Amino acid sequence: ASPNNKVIFSQYYNGKSATDLYNNQSLTKSVMSLLIGIAIDKGYISSVDEKLVKSFPESAKDTDKRKQQITIRQVMNQASGLWHEDLTRMDKYFALSDPYEYVLQQPLVSDPGKVFHYNNAATHILSVLLTKATGQTTLQFANKYLFGRMGIKDVEWGKMKDGYYDGCGLLSVQLHTTDMNKLSTLLLHKGNYKGKNVVPAKWIGQLLHPAVFYNTPWGFEGSTYALCFYHFSYKGDPITYGLGWGGQFTFVIPSKKAVVTVNESIDDATAIMASIVFLNRIFPLIYNGLN
């Protein structure tokens, strides 16, 4: 997408088309990040450094007092120290009837804020927190303040067994690729879409220039992670991007005034290789083709 939100290139393969909804996997986290920013602006959440215990007072009764210090920022940075699922035994996590409560009740695996460990189970808590803070489901809130204001109407969003919409991407928000691309243009235009301030510029500034970040092994080699987005310098140009399992990407490239969004098939056997091939071989071609 170009500065005026004009789509300058769109192509679908393998029988897919613009009318299909795509499984965004962990791009769901990036959508949640936009919603958290809106909730802060609306006063439902005090700040990104608000402690989880405010929305989950049961944590105050835990014998491990460190749990009272965990913040929204730490959850969004994948550094909460909360229990995380075993990626080789996802069936165990999916079988939980109360996944968010289970995560909060388990012993911490590290001190809050100290260790980056990618954690889907903890990120789901963002959706629960948003619902508790606003009194609206995550999808209702998104339809009112984000999707609805941008003309995004076709959405499918999976729920975990606790009844809350998935906040991490294990069940995912499914959108048209063009709509995921549309959401990412908010980072290019200080939260504005067609003259409407959808996400506060202050929050967009934090997403693009986070105060706290962590090195991550995913994505471009040497990337950092913060507030559910990745950051990388490509040929000297700062890039902020979202990444989902199996080659779901959305790149915000301010220097090129461009956003690039890609959905690929979800095949666990080839998912990692699909991402590597795109980053190493296809992204350079796209980048070089941008003016």
pLDDT in tens, 136-150: 999 999 999 999 999
**The predicted structure's pLDDT at residue 3:** 47
**pLDDT reported for residue 154:** 97
Q: What is the pLDDT of residues 191-208, one digit of tens each?
A: 999 999 999 999 999 999
Checking if the pLDDT of 176 tops 60, the result is yes
Cα 202 to the chain's mean position, in Å? 18
pLDDT at 120 over 50: yes
Task: Give the pLDDT band of residue 4 (cuts 50, 70, 90).
Answer: low
- What spatial distance separates the first Cα and last Cα of the chain, rounded to whole Å? 12
pLDDT band at 267 (very low <50, low <70, confident <90, very high): confident
Q: What's the pLDDT score for residue 269? A: 82
Look-up of token digits 């200080």? 190
pTM of the model: 0.95
Nearest-10 Cα torsion for 234, 239, 243, 248: -80
pLDDT for res 9: 75
- Ordered DSSP codes for 172-239: -EEE-HHHHHHHHHHHHTTTEETTEE-S-HHHHHHHHS-SS-EE-SSSSTT-EEETTEEEEEETTEEE
Pick from 5, 35, 9: which is nearest to 262 by CA? Answer: 9
Query: According to the model, what pLDDT value does residue 119 have?
Result: 96
Q: At 94, which helix (H) or strand (E)?
A: helix 90-94
Average pLDDT over residues 79-89: 88
- Angle at CA 31, nearest 5°, toward 70 and 171? 85
Provide, for the chain, the percentages of residues in helix, strand and coil under a 3-state DSSP scheme, each rounded to the nearest 5.
Answer: 40, 15, 45
Count of C-beta atoms within a 10 Å radius of residue 207: 23
Q: Which residues of 122-136 are buried (b: 16+ CB within 10 A; e: fewer)?
A: bbbbbbbbbbebbeb
Res 249: pLDDT: 97
Nearest to 121 by CA among 97, 109, 103: 103
Report the alpha-carbon distance of residue 11 to residue 210 in Å, rounded.
33
- Lookup: tokens for 115: 């260790």
